[in-house]
Homo-oligomer: A and B are copies of this chain.
Amino acid sequence: MDEPLPVRCQDCLVRDTALCASLCDAELVALSRIGRRKTIPAGGVVTWAGDDNALCANIVTGALKVQAATAEGREQTVGLLFAGDFVGNPFTETSALTTEALTETDLCIFSRVAFERVLDKRPRLERALLERTMRSLEEARQRQLTLGRKSAKGKIAGFLLDIAEAQGGSEIELPIARGEMADYLGLTIETVSRQMTEMREEGLIDAPRGSRRVTLLDRETLRALDE
């Protein structure tokens, strides 16, 4: 019964950053048995709001957005997920949120119920998921502050600083387009664009018109704008 660790796990880019990092090799064998790889094209939907919540996954490469929408179709991005992040809601029958790929994304997918059975048997996995979920909750609450109380410029400054922190440097590559930034920050695309040109004119950032490459020139002032 010495099942070997599958190659896709041995070579996995997120073996040590995803939820799986909480498992030893023997445990990982058990989890790997119910998992399979799947590639989602950019713009592809992973889970639909309202559908029954059939799957969980780890992101191996790429990025997803978690999307909410009003009845009239106004959209709000309520979370961004990157390599190593966990996707899905174990123990929940349905969700009002849609999960969509921002870029081509490789997932390691599990059926929700099978994943729940593994959670039953692997306390370390459940603990790691609990800790992640609590971090996500704190994040979602901080974002309520941004959405409810910050100015357009403050929202954008905070977003740029967050990305810089995640990427570790002042020259950043935005993971999302202007329109997606607008959905994420509760603004319109025009407001995002105008604020970014203003920031360029004020010498706070350098960013070729329309480009996703941005250099933060004055983090001090950006931090002050972030209120």
Contact = CB atoms under 8 A, between A and B. Distances in A.
Interface of A: 66, 68-72, 74-76, 78-79, 89-92, 95-97, 123, 126-127, 129-131, 133-138, 140-145, 147-150, 154, 185-186, 226-227
A91 B140 contact: no
Contacts of A74: 149, 227
B91 A134 contact: yes
B147 A96 contact: no
Contact of A186 (B78, B92, B149): B149
B79 A141 contact: yes
**Of residues A66, A129, A140, A141, which shows the largest number of chain B Cβ atoms within 10 Å of its Cβ?**
A141
A143 B145 contact: no
A75 B148 CA distance: 9
Contacts of A130: 90-91, 126, 129-130, 133
A185 B148 CA distance: 7
A227 B204 CA distance: 37
A227 to B, nearest CB: 4
Closest 9 CB pairs of A and B: A148-B186, A140-B140, A78-B141, A147-B147, A68-B145, A70-B227, A147-B148, A78-B144, A76-B145
Contact of A75 (B69, B123, B149): B149
